[in-house]
């Protein structure tokens, strides 16, 4: 079974703090994604990566950056957290084609920024 | 702009009946359509994929249809059970991107 793990299930941070969210997948997938999910807005793509050291902006990249130094690990960074970044963050991975394959999601990290 | 809509935010169905969820889209020609299940506090889990040249796909009690003329997919759960209660997301895949719907919360009433 594909396993996607995220470093924390719940996280509470203060405004202005730098926040790192880590995601690891164990299936040697090329593609990895970061989404945020908010009530009434659904899943929104922040960034994705289709190879090590490669990244592409999704629909809402402002206020975020990412890092992919190893194939299995994709990190989401909030340089200076703000209250409007309080959300559920979901990491996903997929194989083969750029985005057309099935996505496997992690359990999510619920981030609260005070 | 591309738009994807799922018929309702929430749907209540009596146990044993067939639940039917709808996914409509505009300004898009997806190559695939996927359905995911999401339980509270968890990530979505892939259920089924249907290609643009397929009319119907089945997996156990699940059935998905894809009508590219109507720009609509229907997701059916037959003989529904309380354990089927969850949020179901449709996702359109094409032009090198994937777009998720906001989901429909399904409640199967015992």
- Is the pLDDT reported for residue B84 higher than 70? yes
CB atoms within 10 A of CB B58: 11
Nearest CA in chain A to B44: A105
Q: Which residues of A touch B2 (CB under 8 A)?
A: none
Q: Stretch A69-92: mean pLDDT, rounded? A: 97
Give the burial class of B57: count Cβ atoms within 10 A of its Cβ; 0-12 exposed, 13-18 middle, 19 or more buried: middle
Q: For chains A and B, what is the number of CB pairs under 8 angstroms?
A: 45
Determine the residue among A30, A37, A43, A44 to mutate to test chain B binding: the one whose Cβ has the most chain B Cβ atoms within 10 Å. A43
- Give the whole-angstrom CA distance, residue A50 versus residue B80: 38
Q: Each residue of A38-79: pLDDT tens digit?
A: 988 889 999 999 899 899 999 999 999 999 999 999 999 999
Please answer yes or no on whether A43 and B44 come within 8 Å at the CB atom. yes
What pLDDT, on a 0 to 100 scale, did the predictor assign at position A96?
Answer: 67
Q: Each residue of B1-49: pLDDT tens digit?
A: 778 899 778 999 999 999 999 999 988 888 889 999 999 989 999 999 9
What pLDDT, on a 0 to 100 scale, did the predictor assign at position A97?
Answer: 62
Please answer yes or no on whether A99 and B41 come within 8 Å at the CB atom. no
Cβ-Cβ contacts under 8 Å for A1 (sequence gap 6 or more): none
Nearest CA in chain A to B88: A42
Give the burial class of A7: count Cβ atoms within 10 A of its Cβ; 0-12 exposed, 13-18 middle, 19 or more buried: middle
Query: What's the gap in Å between the CA of A78 and the closest CA on chain B?
Result: 21
**Residue B100 in contact with residue B106, Cβ under 8 Å?**
no
**Helices (DSSP H) in chain A: which residue ranges?**
none
Q: What is the DSSP string of B18-56?
A: PEEEEEEEES---SEEEEEEE-TTS--EEEEEEETT-SE
- Give the whole-angstrom CA distance, residue B6 versus residue B72: 10
CA B33 to chain centre: 9
Please answer yes or no on whether B98 and A103 come within 8 Å at the CB atom. yes
- Give the whole-angstrom CA distance, residue B47 versus residue A66: 29
């Amino acid at each position: 079974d594909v396993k996607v793990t995220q470093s924390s299930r719940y996280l509470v941070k203060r405004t202005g703090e730098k926040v790192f969210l880590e995601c690891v997948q164990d299936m040697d997938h090329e593609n990895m994604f970061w989404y945020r999910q908010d009530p009434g807005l659904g899943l929104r793509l922040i960034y994705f990566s289709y190879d090590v050291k490669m990244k592409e902006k999704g629909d809402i990249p402002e206020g975020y950056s990412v890092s992919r130094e190893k194939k299995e690990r994709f990190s989401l960074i909030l340089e200076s957290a703000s209250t409007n970044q309080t959300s559920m963050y979901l990491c996903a991975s997929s194989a083969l084609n750029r985005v057309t394959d099935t996505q496997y999601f992690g359990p999510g990290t619920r981030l609260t920024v005070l | 702009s591309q738009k994807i809509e799922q018929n309702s935010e929430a749907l209540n169905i009596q146990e044993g009946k067939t639940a039917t969820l709808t996914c409509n889209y505009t300004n898009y020609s997806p190559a695939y359509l996927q359905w995911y299940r999401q339980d509270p506090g968890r990530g979505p889990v892939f259920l089924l994929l249907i290609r643009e040249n397929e009319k119907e796909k089945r997996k156990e009690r699940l059935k998905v249809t894809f009508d590219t003329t109507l720009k609509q997919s229907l997701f059916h759960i037959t003989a529904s059970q309380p354990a089927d209660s969850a949020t179901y997301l449709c996702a359109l895949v094409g032009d090198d991107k994937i777009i998720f719907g906001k989901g429909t919360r399904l409640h199967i009433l015992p």
